[in-house]
C-alpha cells in the first residue's frame, strides 16, 4: 500500500503538534510505524488520505458501536447545528439523555454530563472524596481511567503501599494518595484496605479491563469488591467509559449483576462527539455543586450537538436483538482469529466480552497487568503491520481492545479472519 500522503502529513504535523498527534496512542510508536491520516469513514470502514480502505476495529477507540456515519445520527446532528452549537445554558436535550442513561443503568439515580471520560473519572473521585471525607483512592494496575493526576499511577515496584507517578509532572504527594492493587486479585485489595483502615474513599475499577487488552473479571472479583466496599464504607466506582452501552445496554454491571455506588461513562454515550458522564446514588450525587459543596463545572458540558448524537445513538441501541446480533458477529471474528492462529501453529490467548476482544500474543492466560505485560509485543507489532497492509485497521498496541460494530458484515469478518490467517503464517 502507498502511505506517502500520510507520511508527508505526519512530518508536517510534528512541526506544530507535539509528536504529531493530539493523543499519544495515535502515533503508532509501539508498532514501529507511522500513523495514517484519516480522510473519512463510513459503516465499518475508514479511508486514509492516500485513498486506502480499511475495515476498522478501532471505532474511534470505542464510541462507534453503530459503525461510522449512521444516517440517523448524522441527520440529527446536522439539524441540531442549525439551532446553535452551544448556549452555556440548560436545554431539554440534557434531560432526555440523563433520563435515558438512568433508565439504562439502574444504579445511576442522578447523572452529570461532562466532555470526556477523563473528566468523568476525575470528578467522580473528587465526589467520592467529598462524600466520605477520606483522601485515598484505590485503583488497579493496568486499568486506565483517563489522565488526571490522581489516576495516572500504577504499581510501584516492590512497595505496593504508595503509588508511583506514571508521568513526570504528577506530584509524588498526589501519587501517594493512590493505592494500586492487582486486577482479579481480591486479596491484594483486602490487604491495602486493611493497611489503610478508614482512609480509602473509593475503589475505581474497569469492570472489564479494556486498557491492557481485554481482561474479563474472574468469577467473584466484582462481587468481592462490592462486599468489601459495603463493609468498609468505601464508594465503589465502576469506570464504564468503555464497557457502558458496549457489552450490554446497561453495561458490565447489567452483564455481571453487580451494582456499584457510582458509574462513569463516555465514548458510546457521545455517539462520536465529546461526552462523558458520571452518576450514582442520589445521596452522593446531590453533594455536587450547586446542590452541594463539591465543585465541578464545564463550559461545554451537556453540549447540544453531543447530547443529540448520544440520544440518537442510544435510541438505535434499543432496537430488537441489537446486542445479540453484535454478540454473534463478535464471537465469529474473535474465534475465527484464534482458530487461524492455532492452525498456523502460533497460539494466542484470545479474550472476549461481547464486542470487545483481544488476541494476546501469549501462550499463558492473561488475567492482570503482569500477565498482559508478558506478551510478545514484537510479534504483535509485526502482526499489526501485516494486517494494516491487508486492509485491516487494528489498534496499534497489544494492550488495546478491538471493537466490533453492528455495521461489520459477515464478509468483512471473513476478510479479517483470512488476513489474520495469512499474517499468522508469516510470523
Ligand atoms: C477511554 C477511557 C477513559 C478516558 O476517556 P477520555 O474520553 O479519553 O478522556 C477512561 N476510562 C476508561 C475505562 C476508558 O476506556
Question: What kind and span of H or E run contains 229?
Answer: helix 221-232
Q: Of 3, 56, 136, 144, which residue is the catalytic one?
A: 144
241 lines ligand 1 (CB under 6 A): yes
Question: Omega before 290 cis (within 30°)?
Answer: yes
| Burial class, 30, CB count within 10 angstroms (exposed 0-12 / middle 13-18 / buried 19+) | middle
Let me know: does 394 contact 55? Beta carbons within 8 Å. Answer: no
Report the nearest atom of ligand 1 relative to the CA of 206.
13
Whole-prediction pTM: 0.97
Q: Is 239 a catalytic residue?
A: yes
Across 145-275, where does the E strand assignment appear? 153-154, 164-165, 178-181, 200-205, 235-239, 262-265
Residue 233 has pLDDT above 50, yes or no: yes
Q: What's the whole-number mean pLDDT along residues 184-199?
A: 98
**Which residues, other chains included, contact 185 with Cβ-Cβ below 8 Å and sequence gap of 6+?**
368
Q: How far apart are CA 323 and CA 412, in angstroms?
A: 18
> What's the CA-to-centroid distance between 427 and ligand 1, angstroms?
32
CA of 424 to the centre of ligand 1 (A): 31
Task: Tell me which of 145, 251, 277, 278 to substitute to probe ligand 1's pocket, judged by most ligand atoms within 8 Å of the beta carbon.
Answer: 145
| Per-residue pLDDT at 258 | 98
For residue 158, pLDDT over 90 is answered with no
Which atom from ligand 1 is nearest to the alpha carbon of 240?
13
Residue 159 has pLDDT above 90, yes or no: no
CA of 264 to the centre of ligand 1 (A): 9
Q: What local confidence, expressed as pLDDT, does residue 175 receive? A: 87
Q: pLDDT at position 163, please?
A: 60
Q: Above 90 in pLDDT, residue 347?
A: no
Distance 340 CA to ligand 1 centre (A): 31
Residue 63 Cα to ligand 1 middle (Å): 11
- The CA 267 to ligand 1 mean position distance, Å, reads 7
Residues 251 and 240 sit within 8 Å (Cβ to Cβ): yes
Question: pLDDT-based confidence at 174, cuts 50/70/90?
Answer: confident
Helices and strands in the chain: count of H runs, count of E runs: 14, 16
Q: Which of 24-28, 203-207, 251-255 has the lowest mean pLDDT?
A: 24-28
Measured CA to CA, the distance from residue 175 to residue 155 in angstroms comes to 10
CA-closest residue to ligand 1 atom 10: 145
Say whether pLDDT at 160 is over 60: no
CATH architecture, domain defined by 71-317: 3-Layer(aba) Sandwich (3.40)
332 belongs to the catalytic site? no
CB atoms within 10 A of CB 183: 25
- Each residue's pLDDT tens digit, 46-60: 999 999 999 999 999
Rounded distance between C-alpha atoms, residue 334 and residue 32, angstroms: 25
> Does residue 144's CB lie within 6 angstroms of at least one atom of ligand 1?
yes
Q: Stretch 215-227: mean pLDDT, rounded?
A: 98
275 C-alpha vs ligand 1 centroid, how far in Å? 11
Question: Is 350 close to ligand 1, i.e. is its CB under 6 Å away?
Answer: no
Instruction: With a cut of 70, say whether residue 228 has pLDDT above it.
Output: yes
* DSSP helix, strand, coil percent of the chain (3-state; round to 5): 40, 20, 40
CB count within 10 Å of CB 350 equals 18
Please give the distance, rounded to the nearest whole angstrom, from the Cα atom of residue 421 to the centre of ligand 1.
Answer: 32
What integer is the mean pLDDT of 181-190?
97
Active site residue 219: no
Pocket test for ligand 1, best of 62, 149, 211, 402 (most atoms within 8 A of CB): 211
pLDDT, position 155: 39
Strands 178-181 and 136-140: parallel
Confidence of residue 170 (pLDDT cuts 50, 70, 90): confident
Domain ranges of the chain: 4-69+321-426, 71-317
- Is the distance from the beta carbon of residue 242 to the nearest atom of ligand 1 less than 6 Å? yes
pLDDT in tens, 200-212: 999 999 999 999 9
Torsion of CA 146, 106, 100, 139, to 10 degrees: 0
pLDDT band at residue 153 using 50, 70 and 90 as cut-offs: confident
| pLDDT computed for residue 164 by the predictor | 67
pLDDT digits (tens, 9 = 90+) for 86-114: 999 999 999 999 999 999 999 999 999 99
Residue 26 predicted with pLDDT over 60: yes
Q: Is 116 in the pocket of ligand 1 (CB under 6 A)?
A: yes
The predicted pLDDT at position 255 comes to 98
pLDDT score of 162? 52
Catalytic entry in 136, 139, 154, 267: 267
Distance in angstroms (rounded) separating the CA atoms of residues 159 and 403: 36
Asked if residue 211 has its Cβ within 6 Å of ligand 1, the reply is yes
Looking at 150-154, 161-165, 194-198, 339-343, which range is the least confident one?
161-165
Catalytic position from the list 239, 261, 368, 412:
239
The strand pair at 136-140 and 356-360 is best described as unpaired
Tell me the CATH number for domain 4-69+321-426: 3.90.1150.10
CA-closest residue to ligand 1 atom 11:
145
Rounded average pLDDT over 354-383: 96
Q: What is the percentage of the chain residues whose pLDDT exceeds 70?
A: 97
Q: State the virtual CA torsion across 215, 360, 121, 112 in degrees, nearest 10.
A: -80
Q: List, for residues 271-297, the tens digit of each pLDDT value.
A: 999 999 999 999 999 999 999 999 999
Residue 134, all three cell numbers = 477520606
Asked if pLDDT for residue 156 goes beyond 60, the answer is no
Among 116, 113, 122, 124, CA closest to 307: 113
Pocket test for ligand 1, best of 119, 140, 144 (most atoms within 8 A of CB): 144
Amino acid at each position: 500500500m502507498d502511505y506517502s500522503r500520510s507520511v508527508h502529513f505526519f512530518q508536517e504535523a510534528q512541526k506544530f503538534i507535539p509528536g504529531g498527534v493530539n493523543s499519544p496512542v495515535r502515533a503508532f510508536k509501539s508498532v514501529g510505524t507511522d500513523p495514517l491520516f484519516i480522510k473519512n469513514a463510513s459503516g465499518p470502514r475508514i479511508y486514509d488520505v492516500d485513498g486506502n480502505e480499511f475495515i476498522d476495529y478501532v471505532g474511534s477507540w470505542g464510541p462507534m458501536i453503530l459503525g461510522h456515519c449512521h444516517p440517523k445520527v448524522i441527520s440529527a446532528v446536522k439539524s441540531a447545528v442549525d439551532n446553535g452549537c452551544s448556549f452555556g445554558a440548560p436545554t431539554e436535550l440534557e434531560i432526555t439523555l440523563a433520563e435515558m442513561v438512568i433508565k439504562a443503568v439502574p444504579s445511576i439515580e442522578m447523572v452529570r454530563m461532562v466532555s470526556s471520560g477523563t473528566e468523568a473519572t476525575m470528578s467522580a473521585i473528587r465526589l467520592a472524596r467529598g462524600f466520605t471525607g477520606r483522601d485515598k483512592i484505590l485503583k488497579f494496575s493496568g486499568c486506565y481511567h483517563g489522565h488526571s493526576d490522581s489516576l495516572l499511577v500504577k504499581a510501584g515496584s516492590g512497595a505496593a503501599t504508595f503509588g508511583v507517578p506514571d508521568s513526570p509532572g504528577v506530584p509524588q504527594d498526589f501519587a501517594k494518595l493512590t493505592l494500586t492493587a492487582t486486577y482479579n486479585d481480591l486479596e491484594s485489595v483486602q490487604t491495602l484496605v486493611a493497611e489503610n483502615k478508614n482512609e480509602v474513599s473509593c475503589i475505581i475499577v474497569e469492570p472489564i479491563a479494556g486498557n491492557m487488552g481485554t481482561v474479563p473479571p474472574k468469577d467473584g472479583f466484582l462481587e468481592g469488591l462490592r462486599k468489601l466496599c459495603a463493609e468498609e464504607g468505601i464508594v465503589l466506582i465502576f469506570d464504564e467509559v468503555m464497557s457502558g452501552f458496549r457489552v450490554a445496554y446497561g453495561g458490565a454491571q447489567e452483564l455481571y449483576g453487580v451494582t456499584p455506588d457510582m458509574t462513569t461513562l463516555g465514548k458510546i454515550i457521545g455517539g462520536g462527539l465529546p461526552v462523558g458522564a458520571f452518576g450514582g446514588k442520589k445521596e452522593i450525587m446531590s453533594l455536587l455543586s450547586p446542590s452541594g459543596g463539591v465543585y465541578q463545572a464545564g463550559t461545554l458540558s451537556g453540549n447540544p450537538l453531543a447530547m443529540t448524537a448520544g440520544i440518537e445513538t442510544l435510541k438505535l441501541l434499543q432496537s430488537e436483538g441489537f446486542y445479540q446480533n453484535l454478540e454473534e458477529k463478535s464471537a465469529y471474528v474473535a474465534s475465527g482469529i484464534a482458530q487461524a492462529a492455532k492452525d498456523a501453529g502460533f497460539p494466542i490467548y484470545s479474550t472476549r466480552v461481547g464486542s470487545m476482544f483481544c488476541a494476546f500474543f501469549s501462550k499463558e492466560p492473561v488475567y492482570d497487568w503482569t500477565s498482559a505485560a508478558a506478551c510478545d509485543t514484537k510479534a504483535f507489532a509485526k502482526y499489526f503491520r501485516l494486517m494494516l497492509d491487508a486492509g485491516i485497521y487494528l489498534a496499534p498496541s497489544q494492550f488495546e481492545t478491538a471493537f466490533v460494530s453492528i455495521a461489520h458484515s459477515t464478509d468483512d469478518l471473513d476478510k479479517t479472519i483470512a488476513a489474520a490467517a495469512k499474517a499468522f503464517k508469516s510470523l
